[in-house]
Amino acid sequence: MSLTDGFGRKIDYLRLSVTDHCDFRCIYCMDEKPTFLPRSEVLTLEELEQIGRAFVELGVRKIRLTGGEPLVKSDLVKLVDKLAKLPGLDDLCMTTNGSRLTKFAQPLADAGLQRLNISLDTLQPERFTATTRTGKLERVLAGIDAARDAGFQRLKLNAVAIKGNNDDEIVDLVRFAREKQVDITFIEEMPLGILADNRRDHSLLTSDEVRARIAPHFDLIATTENSGGPARYYKMSDSPIRIGFISPHSHNFCGDCNRVRVTTTGELLLCLGNENSVDLRKAVREHPNDIEHLKQVIRDAMGAKPEKHHFSTGAETQILRFMSHTGG
């Protein structure tokens, strides 16, 4: 059983957004006073599990839990425990801001979560609080250490590189990743959601520019390694870690796209950069416990996956959805 879209791409990776809520308000992701969705619109834990199960029965091999901040969702560890037991799921991972990992890293690992991505844009405490608007760097650093101790298969840091915000810390972040022996990926900022300060078009830092800043300090060796995602990876001769670059602007990675997303409200998004979607919440709520119906709705949706995304830094072509709704 496998899912294939209209361009012959096999879909075996699901990003599942478990909440739109978050304890941070990162400047590139949310407004300072965001509006959150009414509870009744958000998928319950049972609905999330059912959707995950349907995708795995359809051949999905990798699920990433994301949000919002997954760790503000109550009983998330229970969901991890249920998903981890699905036969056929090879890879269960999560993206988190790290603020609650001192409490949850070990229970998550024990429940069967295999890998964690932890967002970290800066190593300067004041800048961290300014970027996240509410976060404390020391809590996230303690969370990273807790995750290292918990025994995950692999840890990765994610940094959104933004001109005028953290572009002077690129090399420091690589040094930190080397010291902690964790991978690191630099992400180009994507124009998702219109921010009140509307500053995106001045601040784009391309992956090529980020790489050029690292190159004088470390020998970057390009690899053909593919983690089933859009990142392109580099190694260094004197460290086991990998440095990844996700470049939605400067390199179109749609040709081998193997993923779909389900938002907090159960919209199946076939592409991060397009607005088309299919309502899985309706399918789940109108046909409770009918997994075959849900699977058919998912199968039928595959024909609507667009060939490629179209991002631009111009405000007029921005996608209206925020990353916290779609799941990063």
Interface ranges with ligand SF4 (CB under 6 A): 22, 24-26, 29-30, 67-69, 97, 119, 323-324
In 3D space, the residue among 55, 6, 59 whose CA is nearest the CA of residue 303 turns out to be 6
Query: Letter for the amino acid at 111?
Result: A
Q: In the bound complex, what is the minimum distance in angstroms from residue 249's beta carbon to ligand SAM?
A: 10
User: Contact 29/196 with Cβ under 8 angstroms?
Assistant: no
Q: In the bound complex, what is the minimum distance in angstroms from residue 247's beta carbon to ligand SAM?
A: 11
Q: Which does 205 bind (CB under 5 to 8 A by kind): ligand SAM, ligand SF4, none?
A: none
Tell me how far apart the alpha carbons of residues 103 and 113 are, in angstroms, rounded to a whole number: 15
Closest CB to ligand SAM among residues 246, 301: 246
Closest CB to ligand SAM among residues 111, 184: 184
The window from 2-10, 62-70, 163-171, 254-262 that contacts ligand SAM (CB under 6 A) reads 62-70
Contact string 182-221 vs ligand SAM (x = CB under 6 A)? -----x-xx-x-----------------------------
Beta strands in 132-212 (DSSP E): 154-161, 183-188
In 3D space, the residue among 19, 11, 20, 85 whose CA is nearest the CA of residue 53 turns out to be 85
Three-state secondary-structure class, residue 115: strand
Whats the size of the chain, residue-wise? 328
**What is the three-state SS of 54-111?**
HHHHCCCCEEEEECCCHHHCCCHHHHHHHHHCCCCCCEEEEEECCCCHHHHHHHHHHH
Of 22, 63, 80, 302, the residue at the interface with ligand SAM (CB under 6 A) is 22
Q: Which does 25 bind (CB under 5 to 8 A by kind): ligand SF4, ligand SAM, none?
A: ligand SF4
Q: In the bound complex, what is the minimum distance in angstroms from residue 97's beta carbon to ligand SF4?
A: 4
Q: Which does 50 bind (CB under 5 to 8 A by kind): ligand SAM, ligand SF4, none?
A: none
Q: In the bound complex, what is the minimum distance in angstroms from residue 24's beta carbon to ligand SAM?
A: 7
The window from 47-55, 64-72, 137-145, 290-298 that contacts ligand SAM (CB under 6 A) reads 64-72
Closest CB to ligand SF4 among residues 1, 130: 130
Q: Is 323 in the site for ligand SAM (CB under 6 A)?
A: yes
Q: In the bound complex, what is the minimum distance in angstroms from residue 319's beta carbon to ligand SAM?
A: 10
Tell me how far apart the alpha carbons of residues 292 and 289 are, in angstroms, rounded to a whole number: 9
Q: Is 28 in the site for ligand SAM (CB under 6 A)?
A: yes
The window from 35-43, 89-97, 210-218, 219-227 that contacts ligand SAM (CB under 6 A) reads 89-97
- Which pairing describes strands 115-119 and 154-161: parallel, antiparallel, or unpaired? parallel
In 3D space, the residue among 34, 38, 42 whose CA is nearest the CA of residue 16 turns out to be 42
User: Taking CB under 6 A as the criterion, which residues in 217-246 touch ligand SAM?
Assistant: none
Tell me how far apart the alpha carbons of residues 162 and 134 are, in angstroms, rounded to a whole number: 19
Closest CB to ligand SF4 among residues 247, 324: 324
User: Contact 68/101 with Cβ under 8 angstroms?
Assistant: no
16: tokens are 């599942």
How does DSSP classify residue 6? T
Cβ count within 10 A of residue 198: 10
Longest dimension (CA), the chain: 58
Closest CB to ligand SAM among residues 246, 278: 246
Residues that bind ligand SAM (CB under 6 A): 22, 28-29, 66-67, 69, 95-97, 119, 158, 160, 187, 189-190, 192, 323-324, 328
